[in-house]
A and B are shown apart, each in its own frame.
Chain A
């Protein structure tokens, strides 16, 4: 589908720039989704939600179970499996809010922070417990036979070969952005924004903070779930806690970095931050020789460090 890319653009962008860029955007979308979920929770509860990525891991595994008919689940077509996975993600978000966050509502922020970390560990252990680590669970790519390419023919030396999996990522994100923009114009959306600014004032005005908190976490669970199910086919072999990254660096860390870089203040900012991180990491990965392990992480972590040292509240952050 080289027709997708304007001939002038094709001509002026070499494989050295174009391919990492597109790759970065694609993975950046996943990071951006994680980051958006993190900022949403930060605005509503004032903490980093360490469990944000696990909403995605759970969604991914639930989708997989329905896709392959594992463990007694009925086999369903791809789209249905995805939706069920999303539902699972949203549910986990809701349950976390009800069982962990709500009871600790008046606790200091550090307590809540550690509680989300505990929740993350709990979810990861639960996944490991149920799925085990002996069997490798492979999430099949979307429409495995169809391939497209940009910047050259399929499989060509400087081409970026992609399939519906990657297109799905971009489509999902576009849909979400549209949905999100629409949602935050609704009553509920505005209520959530109000609470994030001042929960006391919001409750005085008649907003049910309790209900809104549950809704916020459900949405965060959904966002995490989307990240989990669109990342799953791209990653292929899933392990328990794959979104958090056990034994390797997962989207959670990049999502955190993106959220912090964006200053933890705006949802679109967080998403853009995620895409940026994806691009930076992608370029780092493309240009750092493989003899240096973890080059991508080093560069991204380095960027985070430099930014925070120069502006301790993040690129767009406000002084607390």
Chain B
């Protein structure tokens, strides 16, 4: 009874975001896009245990191609989204091949370098980005309103969540978990380790690419600078703070980070806090305070609670989906998963 009520409230809240005006819808759009990226990173980092830190590059590639093809070749919105996803998938596949040879911390580095290099090179090619101002991606007329666009983003999120649920409850999820735990065991269970690792990357890339396409249409522009090192770290942070490996944790973590900027800026108390600083500094506090807080949150999480929000959320999510609150928990990126992550390189 109570469970159903909570679900209903959740659905109502999600729907209402689209109807409360363009600004609220803007937050919803940002949150939805971050959730997609979080889910994407979670597949590779949380489920398969591959330290890929260049996801902003995947998102950027999706955004770039979606924007370019829609502007220069007049591709309709839906097709541009698919292309964005495909671009992300292809790049991720390449990264996956690299990850077959290079492990652990070195893979983290290589993926980071790839992401940053992309930002400095491909994302700056004038032919693709329409010059320094960035390529524009114009929304179709029906989606010009933020509210409508939000619903599209929400729909994409829901589809992604559905696929994620199906993934984890099927043989694919089990195969990835085995790979993450011990590749020899996975092989002994008959899992094609190479194939499934690449599959994880491709799925992850597709999701990230779609998120990128949505991003391009949301901001109606592509700008290479948006996809920098800082964004890469932010994505990793939100996955870790959320609790890599736990769907609910990652969703909450992503929403939190997406809204951190916007919400904090609106919060009266935060504005007062910013005014405590000398006049010249106040706007900076408003602009960068959230980043600072985000980084601080991460460090706090790591120190106190390596499982992230997921650890806190597990009893709640279990209850919401009809299970008992007290059953054995294996969600989240606890110290064991962290060990496995650091076992390579």
Q: Counting CB contacts under 8 A, is A58 at the interface?
A: no
A 279-297 contacts with B by CB, 8 A = 292-295, 297
CA distance A100 to B291 in the complex (A): 18
Partner of A253, one of B102, B108, B113: B113
Specify which of B105, B117, B125, B288 is in contact with A113 (CB 8 Å cutoff). Answer: B105
Residues from chain B with Cβ under 8 Å of A257 in the complex: 113
The reply to whether B299 and A119 contact each other, CB–CB distance below 8 Å, is: yes
Residue in chain A with minimal CB distance to B306:
A111
Task: Check: A130 CB closer than 8 A to any chain B CB.
Answer: yes
Question: Is B23 located at the chain interface by the 8 A CB criterion?
Answer: no
A229-255, CB under 8 A of B: which get 1 and which 0?
A: 000000000000100111111000100
- Shortest CB-to-CB span from A57 to chain B, Å, is 13
Name which residue of chain A comes closest to B293, CB basis: A125
A-B contact count (CB 8 A): 157
Residues of B within 8 A of A245 (CB): 116, 229
Q: Is the CB of B113 within 8 A of A304?
A: yes
Smallest CB–CB gap between A50 and chain B, Å? 8
| C-alpha gap A257/B106 in the complex (Å) | 10
- Among residues 79 to 98 in chain B, which have CB atoms less than 8 Å away from a CB atom of chain A? 98
Q: In the assembled complex, how far is the CB of residue B318 from the closest CB belonging to chain A, in whole angstroms?
A: 25
CB-based contact A132/B280 at 8 Å? yes
Stretch at the interface among A9-17, A28-36, A102-110: A102-110
Minimum distance in angstroms from A142 CB to a CB of chain B: 28
User: Which residues of B in the span 92-120 have a Cβ within 8 Å of any Cβ on A?
Assistant: 98, 101-103, 105-106, 108-110, 112-114, 116-117, 120
B residues near A118, Cβ cutoff 8 Å: 233, 237, 295-296, 298-299, 302
Contact of B121 among A114, A125, A244, A297 (CB under 8 A): A297
User: Chain B residue with minimal CB distance to A118?
Assistant: B298
Does A170 sit at the interface, judged by CB under 8 A? no
Interface SS of chain B: helix
What residue of chain A has the Cβ atom nearest to residue B107's Cβ?
A308
Most buried by A among B101, B106, B294, B341: B106
Mask of B271-307 contacts with A, CB within 8 angstroms, 1/0:
0000000001101110111011011101100110010
Q: Give complex CA distance A102, B345 in Å.
A: 23
> Across the interface, do A294 and B229 meet the contact criterion of CB distance under 8 Å?
no
Q: Please report which residues of chain A, range 151-199, place their CB below 8 angstroms from some CB of chain B when the two chains form the complex.
A: none
Q: Which residues of B contact A119 (CB under 8 A)?
A: 295, 299
Given known A111-B338, A292-B121, A294-B117, contact A125–B281 (CB-CB < 8 A): no
Q: What are 6 A-B residue pairs whose CB atoms fall within 8 Å in the complex?
A: A110-B342, A113-B105, A117-B237, A122-B295, A249-B117, A293-B120
What is B's interface to A at a CB cutoff of 8 Å?
A: 51, 98, 101-103, 105-106, 108-110, 112-114, 116-117, 120-122, 124-125, 225, 228-230, 233-234, 236-237, 240, 280-281, 283-285, 287-289, 291-292, 294-296, 298-299, 302-303, 306, 335, 338-339, 341-342, 345
